Amino acid sequence: MVWLLFMHICALVIWAAALLILPLLIHHSQTQLAEAAGKGDAVDRLWFTRLASPVALLAIVSGTAIFAVSRNFDSWLLVKLTLVTALVVCHVLAGLLILYRKREHATAIGAKCSILFAAILLLLLGIIVLVLVKPTQDSLLWFL
């Protein structure tokens, strides 16, 4: 159980770092897109497909395994899973933003990257606070 928790935490830290760096890479790749044409995949796409996505799957699978082994059904865990689901949505949006920036008439890439970065950061902070505090069900009534 301890090794599973260790693997989950390691995967989550790497996924969080990869997700936070991804909007910066997308914005940087947009400014360098004309120079990189014809040189293969851009760094942001490689970052997304080779690092962020596999580590995200490892974090989710190991977290699900911990949930199944420990049989922990606390209410704070359900809120955490909701926040993780929103983080997965941000992950998908980052992938869509990588595809969107390759369009000829792609606009406001910098603003979209900033919004995505802020959303990822807020979700990660919410998950960290929730896991560290582990509030009781009475404390979570504000959420419902």
How confident is the model over 9-36, as pLDDT tens digits? 999 999 999 999 999 988 887 666 545 4
> Encoding tokens for residue 63?
């977290």
Distance, CA of 31 to CA of 15 (rounded, Å): 25
**59 HSE (CA, 13 A, CB side):** 23
Residue corresponding to tokens 């897109």? 33
Compute, in degrees rounded to 10, the torsion defined by CA atoms 42, 43, 46, 47: -150
- Displacement of CA 17 from its chain's centroid (Å): 8
* pLDDT value of position 78: 85
Distance, CA of 91 to CA of 124 (rounded, Å): 12
* pLDDT value of position 141: 62
Distance, CA of 106 to CA of 23 (rounded, Å): 15
Please give the residue range of the domain that contains residue 36: 2-142
Domain count for the chain: 1
Q: Which DSSP letter does residue 52 get?
A: I
pLDDT 10s per residue in the chain (144 long)?
888 999 999 999 999 999 999 999 888 876 665 454 455 567 888 899 999 999 999 999 999 898 888 887 777 888 889 999 999 999 999 999 998 888 878 788 889 999 999 999 999 999 999 889 887 766 666 555
